[in-house]
Amino acid sequence: MKSLRTLLVELKQLPAEIGYILGWTGDILAVLVIIGSAILYVALGTEPMFALGGCIFGVLIFLIGRGLQYVLAPRNHSAP
């Protein structure tokens, strides 16, 4: 029975772990997209809007990752 309780506790923590992983993955992808946009801006200096679009896309990826991390984080539901 103790192993079943342990398993249930671990399963309750699984969404928080997935949110943590998705948050960091979003951070890493956002940084890579922004760096790639900066490199393309330097390489294709005539097209600044393309780099700006990439930066906006990178910020969106960052915000989505942080949003998923926040939504999947465990909550303390203490009664007042």
Query: Is 0.85 topped by the overall pTM?
Result: no
Q: Tell me, what DSSP letter sits at residue 78?
A: -
pLDDT at 66: 87
pLDDT tens digits, 30-65: 999 888 888 888 887 767 787 788 888 889 988 988
Please say if the pLDDT value at position 67 is more than 80.
yes
pLDDT tens digits, 22-39: 888 888 999 998 888 888
Distance CA 54, CA 7 (A): 43
Specify the 3-state DSSP secondary structure of 47: coil
The beta strand positions in the chain, using DSSP E, are none
Please say if the pLDDT value at position 79 is more than 50.
no
Q: Tell me, what DSSP letter sits at residue 74?
A: -
